[in-house]
Structures are given as structure tokens and as C-alpha cells.
Amino acid sequence: MLKVLKSGFFISIQDLGRFGYRDIGVPISGAMDADSVKKANLLLENDPNDAVLEITMTGPTLEFHDPTYICLTGAHLSATLNNHPLENYEVVKVEKGDILSYGRLTDGFRSYLAIKGGFLTEKIMGSRSQFIPVTATKRLKDGDEVPYKAFDSYNPMISELKIEEHYHHDELMVHKGPEFELLTDAQLNQIFDSSFSVSKENNRMAYQMAELIEGHSHSMLTSGTLPGTVQLTPAGRLIILMKDGQTTGGYPRVLQLSEASICTLAQKKSGDKLTFKLL
């Protein structure tokens, strides 16, 4: 069992998502930065879909009640195990009573804690991802306990990875969206020849860009959306839907982020600069 002694800003249980229910309005949910989750589970020789903790901006303090192995990926939040610094992308043994703590955010925005065998909370609609109203809560709080299987010994085939952090990129790769042809030449120039800042309105549902482009007066029927769909509001605001975003929307869907760029965007915070590049 893992006990949350201090929850930090926002931590939640996530796997790769809840698929097959968008027709009844249930978002995919799942880890915002799926690339980091897959790498952590790979190092631990887990199933790629095993559940992890997603830790946003400020980290928790956690106590392990059973021995196991862990791996940290994603953002760097100055993590320590019993006050000894930990590195990302390394398999680490933990013992009963060990304390994992997080400090100052130094790089990225979302960190991931994977554990050997994955966290074993209840699956609902095929996923352990926390999302209200499908699950009872949307995040973990002080005093919560999360089950996992104990491992006294384990010899990983690969004990660490040396990688380039994908979220150092500031270019989002996009495909044309269903309403791409509605964009005027002026709007196209503004989107692809300008940089944008992440606004304060950013969360698991959507990221808004701070800068406006030329607006529009197009009306359209509510249509299907996906994580990574870029909508353009009549006022000229670009809104990028993320993992908990709604399954339909009434704004023109002008662009669609690549899967890799969804992971990149998930590691950006307010004020970070971004550009768009058409694939």
C-alpha cells in the first residue's frame, strides 16, 4: 500500500485512458504525457497500460508500506527517497517505510511515478484513470492509500534510460482539422508565423493560448472532438482539448495535434511559448 502523507497541488491515478465510451460522452482521460508513462512502464517491465501517479507542478509526500521498485519520468520535481536525490528514468528499489518526497519544480510540468506491477485501484469502464463523474474522485488527497503488489526482489533488464526530454521542444506538430479550410489567409499567417503563450487557463481539460488571432462568424453543428483538437472561437481564441476534454464541441476544429505534441504540450505551463507547424 502507498499512503499519501501530503498530496501536493494535484496528483491522480492515470493509465493510458478509457476507450470505447466517447459515444456516450465519456472522455478518454488517462495520462496527459503518455510518452513518459510508457517509458516508465518499459523500464519496470510493466504492461504499457499499468496505472501510475500523475503529479502536477508540486509533488506529494508518499510512504511505502511494502517493498517494491519504482521509476520516475516526466517533469523534474527534485524528488528524494529518504532525503537522497533520485534521478528520472532509473529503476529504484524501495523498502517498507521509505518516504518519497518532492521539492522544487525545475523542468517540465507533470511528473510520473510508476511502480512495479502498476497501482491496483479499481478499474471502471476498463480504466483506472480518475475522472469525475466516472470515478468517485478526480485526484488523491491527504491520507489516501493506493494498493500495489509487493516485490522483494527483481532484476530489471534495463535499469536506466538516457533520453532527450521531449518537452524541451517548443514546436507543436499539427495536422489539418476538419474545418481547416475555413481559415483565411490572414488567420493562417497568424497561426503559423507567430508564437503563442500558454494562458493561465490550462488544465487536464484544455489549454488556451493567451494571444488572439483574427476572429470568425462561422456557425456549425456540434461535432466530435479528440484530445489534441484545436478549436477556434469566434473571438479568435485557440483552445486545445486535452485528455479530460469534452467529446463534442461547436467551434471549428481547425487543427489536430500529433500524439507526440500532445505529450509536449502536457509539460508546458502558463507563460511558456509555443509555435505550430503543419505536418
Q: Which tens digit of pLDDT belongs to each residue from 240-274? A: 999 999 999 999 999 999 999 999 999 999 999 99
Q: What is the pLDDT of residue 165?
A: 75
Orientation of helix 259-266 relative to helix 34-43, angle to 10°: 90
Residue 82 DSSP code = T
Q: How many CB atoms lie within 10 A of CB 196?
A: 23
With b for 16 or more beta-carbon neighbours within 10 A and e for fewer, the 31-66 pattern comes to: bbbbbbbbbbbbbbebeebbbbbbbbbbbbebbbeb
- Domains of the chain by range and CATH? 2-146 (no CATH), 169-278 (2.40.100.10)
Q: Is the dihedral of CA 41, 44, 47, 49 positive or negative?
A: negative
Residues 6+ apart with CB under 8 A from 136: none
Q: Are 14 and 54 in contact (CB under 8 A)?
A: yes
Measured distance CA(112)–CA(266) in Å, rounded: 12
Q: Grid coordinates in use for 141? A: 488527497
Rounded Cα–Cα distance for residues 28 and 243 (Å)? 6
pLDDT-wise least confident of 92-96, 159-163, 214-218, 233-237: 159-163
Q: What is the pLDDT of residues 45-91, one digit of tens each?
A: 999 999 999 999 999 999 999 999 999 999 999 999 999 999 999 99
Helix (H, G, I), strand (E, B) or coil at 98: coil
What pLDDT score was predicted for residue 12?
98
Query: Cell numbers of 259, please?
Result: 500524439
- The number of beta carbons lying within 10 Å of the beta carbon of residue 127 is 25
Give me the residue label for grid cell 494498493. Answer: 147
How far is Cα 117 from Cα 149, in angstroms, rounded to an integer?
Answer: 6
Determine the pLDDT at residue 256. Answer: 98
Percent of the chain exceeding pLDDT 70 equals: 100
pLDDT of res. 168: 83
As given in the structure block, the three cell numbers for residue 10 are 494535484
231: pLDDT strictly greater than 80? yes
Largest CA distance in the chain: 63
Supply 222's cell numbers: 456540434
Please identify which residue in the block is written with the cell numbers 508546458: 268
**Confidence (pLDDT) at 155:** 83
pTM listed for this prediction: 0.95
What are the C-alpha distances in Å from 259 to residues 175, 210, 240? Answer: 11, 22, 13
Which has the closest alpha carbon to 18: 29, 10, 9, 7? 29
Least confident of 111-115, 157-161, 198-202, 266-270: 157-161
Distance CA 77, CA 111 (A): 7
